[in-house]
Chains A and B, each alone.
Chain A
Amino acid sequence: MTALLVDGLAYAYPDGHQALFGVDLRVEEGERVAVLGPNGAGKTTLVLHLNGVLTAGAGRIEVAGLPVAKANLKEIRRRVGVVFQDPDDQLFMPTVRDDVAFGPANFGLRGADLDARVKQALDAVGMADHADRSPMHLSGGQRRRVALATVLACDPEILVLDEPSANLEPVARRELAEVLLDLDRTMLMVTHDLPYALQVCPRSVLIDGGVIVADGPTRDLLADTALLAAHRLELPFGFRLD
């Protein structure tokens, strides 16, 4: 089944700046896809369309068959779980448990069901022992994992991660990758951390100038030095793929 279908998506910001010029993307259930691209390529704009925060100027988006439209917004936001780049933007409740419960409670879960969902999400990211602490008192890597749990708790059809590896120390980065690989969910990962994309996502799409310019196995894309260079991307110092 198709988890996500984006067809001819175009969007211009109210100030007239055109960010997307017709994006086509199809993600099948269970796929993990990295969205690569330089700063300003339209990656985040694309993400904000997936859960209906921005409304497309043209084109259509479907999440597991349901079109993104005003009438379906609530269900769309449950189906599309967005983990934002800065966990501090996401976490705001006094305890980790409250924060993880916020999403599913908004979608109508109560009582024992809600408690079970919270526990499940915290177990999935290995943070169950910290349920009663304040998110403000956790380390950067722990906060990132709790932010992931707040979205997992909504049981989304597709998980969208915006720069998940940003600002993480190497160990926290690896731990997060292990959590992501264990989740077994459809995943869209926006990043310009190319080795991370290779580690987590078998498939990548490259966005630049508001269109998708390449789509294929991550390894092939990253080995194409000329393609990367044409779009202001490059592997970090010391990395080779050939």
Chain B
Amino acid sequence: MQPFHRPGDTPVHRLPAQVKIVTALVFVLCVVATRRTEFLAFGLYFAVLAGVWTVARIPPVWLAKRALIETPFVILALALPFVAGGPTVDVLGVAVSEQGTLAGWNILAKGTLGVLVSLTLAATTSPRDLIVGLQRLRVPAMVITIATLMLRYLEVIAAEARRMRTARICRGHDPRFLWQVGATARGIGTLFVRSYERGERVHLAMVSRGWAGAMPDDPRPVGRSAWLLGLVPAAVAAAVLVGVSL
């Protein structure tokens, strides 16, 4: 798995996590609320994001590689013009559904912008800061606990799976062959038990160091300027939304 966090020391990186979380949320809400036919608005949203990337020094290629997570939705969006019903229009001699094309565009534009916003947030905020940011936004403690443990255990499970795979390969297993997929499938049960046990040990180690459900936080008051600066992308998006809706 490629790391989603890209450590750096830019104004975007330095913003408090809670400011970035709120900005990302507002931005995505604006994108979702925009009518699908407002093509210019989507262009403007993208431009705002590109501006943030410039300030945060995130190369577009770096983002593009991680945006591949969206591929299944892109395939769906590309299929819609051909499978949806309703009146059709001819594009280069091929009849495509008008509603289907718009629906596909809707998924593609909003989905891509949503993924890019999440990637930008993840790239400029370390996982730990994200948790602390949610904590400062008074997200319920149970949600925080689940997020913390998930973050911790994802790595644990991935490492466990890697070790088991190595051990299988060393005994002549070749998971590239389809008929050997059975061993991988059976391994998943073992993986669950091993991860569960390791998870228990990790939990014990955290509890032994006084962990009681919340990440330790140093609540420094966030100045108004940080909020003003951080909310600029959200404010632009809101202005665009209001502009095209009037």
A interface, CB within 8 angstroms of B:
48, 51, 53, 74, 77-78, 80-82, 84, 86, 88-90, 92-94, 98, 101-103, 105-107, 110-111, 114, 150-151, 154
A86-B201, A110-B218, A111-B218 are contacts. A102–B209 as well, Cβ < 8 Å? yes
B208 & A89 in contact (Cβ 8 Å cutoff): no
Chain B nearest CB: distance from A198 CB in Å?
Answer: 27
Across the interface, which residues of A come within 8 angstroms of B211, CB to CB? 102, 106
Q: Determine the distance from Cα of A53 to Cα of B126 in the docked complex, in whole angstroms.
A: 30
Any A CB within 8 A of the CB of B111: no
Interface positions, chain B 183-214, Cβ under 8 Å from A, are 198, 201-202, 204-212
Chain A nearest CB: distance from B160 CB in Å?
Answer: 10
Those 6 A-B pairs whose CB atoms lie nearest each other, nearest first: A105-B216, A106-B210, A103-B209, A89-B201, A90-B205, A82-B208
Q: Determine the distance from Cα of A151 to Cα of B201 in the docked complex, in whole angstroms.
A: 16
Q: A53-B208, A150-B209 are in contact. List 6 more A-B contacts (CB 8 A).
A: A48-B204, A51-B208, A84-B201, A92-B155, A103-B209, A106-B211
B interface, CB within 8 angstroms of A:
126-128, 152, 155, 159, 198, 201-202, 204-212, 216-218
Across the interface, which residues of A come within 8 angstroms of B207, CB to CB? 53, 77
Checking B128, B202, B206, B209 against A98 with a beta-carbon cut-off of 8 angstroms, the contacting residue is B128
Q: Determine the distance from Cα of A103 to Cα of B159 in the docked complex, in whole angstroms.
A: 24
Which of A77, A80, A107 has the most CB atoms of chain B within a 10 A radius of its CB? Answer: A77
A84-B201, A102-B209, A154-B209 are contacts. A93–B128 as well, Cβ < 8 Å? yes
Checking A89, A94, A103, A150 against B127 with a beta-carbon cut-off of 8 angstroms, the contacting residue is A94
Checking B201, B202, B208, B218 against A77 with a beta-carbon cut-off of 8 angstroms, the contacting residue is B208
A-side binding surface: helix, strand, loop or mixed?
helix
A94-B126, A98-B128 are contacts. A103–B210 as well, Cβ < 8 Å? yes
Across the interface, which residues of A come within 8 angstroms of B210, CB to CB? 74, 77-78, 103, 106-107, 154
Q: Determine the distance from Cα of A93 to Cα of B204 in the docked complex, in whole angstroms.
A: 16
Chain B nearest CB: distance from A196 CB in Å?
Answer: 22
CB closest chain-B residue, reference A106: B210
Q: Determine the distance from Cα of A105 to Cα of B205 in the docked complex, in whole angstroms.
A: 15
Return 12 A-B CB contacts under 8 Å, by A number. A77-B207, A77-B208, A77-B210, A82-B205, A86-B201, A88-B159, A89-B198, A92-B155, A94-B126, A103-B210, A106-B216, A154-B210
CB closest chain-A residue, reference B219: A110
A77 & B209 in contact (Cβ 8 Å cutoff): yes
Chain A nearest CB: distance from B212 CB in Å?
Answer: 7
Which of B155, B207, B209, B217 has the most CB atoms of chain A within a 10 A radius of its CB? Answer: B209
Chain A nearest CB: distance from B156 CB in Å?
Answer: 8
Which of B127, B202, B212 has the most CB atoms of chain A within a 10 A radius of its CB? Answer: B202
Across the interface, which residues of B come within 8 angstroms of A88, CB to CB? 159
Q: Determine the distance from Cα of A112 to Cα of B113 in the docked complex, in whole angstroms.
A: 41
Q: Determine the distance from Cα of A74 to Cα of B207 in the docked complex, in whole angstroms.
A: 10
CB closest chain-A residue, reference B207: A53
Across the interface, which residues of A come within 8 angstroms of B216, CB to CB? 101-102, 105-106
Across the interface, which residues of B come within 8 angstroms of A105, CB to CB? 216-218
CB closest chain-A residue, reference B7: A94
B204 & A92 in contact (Cβ 8 Å cutoff): no
Chain B nearest CB: distance from A175 CB in Å?
Answer: 22
Which of B159, B205, B206 has the most CB atoms of chain A within a 10 A radius of its CB? Answer: B205
Chain B nearest CB: distance from A91 CB in Å?
Answer: 9
Q: Determine the distance from Cα of A89 to Cα of B201 in the docked complex, in whole angstroms.
A: 6
A53 & B218 in contact (Cβ 8 Å cutoff): no
A74-B210, A107-B210 are contacts. A84–B128 as well, Cβ < 8 Å? no
Checking B128, B202, B218 against A89 with a beta-carbon cut-off of 8 angstroms, the contacting residue is B202
CB closest chain-B residue, reference A109: B216
Across the interface, which residues of B come within 8 angstroms of A154, CB to CB? 209-210
A92 & B209 in contact (Cβ 8 Å cutoff): no
CB closest chain-B residue, reference A107: B210
Q: Determine the distance from Cα of A98 to Cα of B126 in the docked complex, in whole angstroms.
A: 12
Q: Determine the distance from Cα of A82 to Cα of B126 in the docked complex, in whole angstroms.
A: 28
Across the interface, which residues of B come within 8 angstroms of A51, CB to CB? 208
Chain A nearest CB: distance from B155 CB in Å?
Answer: 8
Q: Determine the distance from Cα of A116 to Cα of B155 in the docked complex, in whole angstroms.
A: 30
